[in-house]
Amino acid sequence: MDFQGKVAIVTGGAKGIGLGAARRFAQGGASVVIVSRGGAADAAELLRDETGNKNVIGVAADVSKSDQAREMVRQAVEAFGAIDILVNSAGVQRYGTVVDTEEDVWDEVMDINVKGMYLTSKNAIPEMRKRGGGAIVNVSSVQAYIALAGSAAYVTSKGAINSLTRAMALDHAPEGIRVNSICPGSIDTPMLRWAADLFKEGDQTQEDVIDSWGRMHPIGRVGTMEECGELIAFLCSDKAGFITGGDYKIDGGLLTAAAVVLPK
């Protein structure tokens, strides 16, 4: 996959799945704009050093704020002249039922995970029209299909992302803009490691928890942000030219297994 001459914006690109996608685009020769509330400049420097691609910049922005989402797109166009690809990877995880989730926490999850995708797309799509098309990938989760107990706000936001993806794909297909989502299982990211620290018990280490979660996937391990980056890159490439409106699981087979196990 060759992204030479393409311009990609990756929100949440300073770490995790977003960084995996930004790295893949930089390796493919794209001009890359890494967007994050913190760490964007450092991530851009890291990728410039790793890949030798000097057309990687960082932009500090909170995509849940309309003025900052608009300014982020403006800076991308000012730097590289256009936008071809948008990866909406910015997101947060918070735990709680609807009873014990405070309203401000609910709003935080919805604002970043869903409203942020709306705002970045609202501002990026007009620039894609000027190019005659483009590709958008929204990072969702297997929790768009299933729910973990005590994750009401997060689960709701991920279901909304898949619905938003379908709506955007339908609305913008006539303009040559394709929109898909990826739905990861457990991926080794800073967010997963934060959760592992939160839920470890007794003398368990972070690695113990992550290994135990990995064994819940039929493949027997958690995924990597680079594997997610490859799927995102494919969906944004010309090879995926007939693919839009889809949600693609990258979950190590997690959703293939029924919870009920038959006796031997």
d(CA 3, CA 31): 8
Catalytic residue among 95, 118, 145, 154: 154
- State the DSSP H helix or E strand holding residue 214, giving kind and residue range, or none if neither: helix 206-215
Q: In the numeric block, which tokens belong to residue 64?
A: 């849940």
Which distant-in-sequence residues (6+ apart) come within 8 Å of 202 by Cβ?
Answer: none
Residues 37 and 18: beta-carbon distance below 8 Å: no
**Can you say how many angstroms the Cα of residue 117 is from the centroid of all Cα atoms in its chain?**
10
Of 31, 36, 84, 29, the closest CA to residue 58 belongs to 36
The verdict on whether 154 is a catalytic residue reads yes
- If one counts every other C-beta atom within 10 angstroms of the C-beta of residue 191, the result is 16
Active site residues: 154
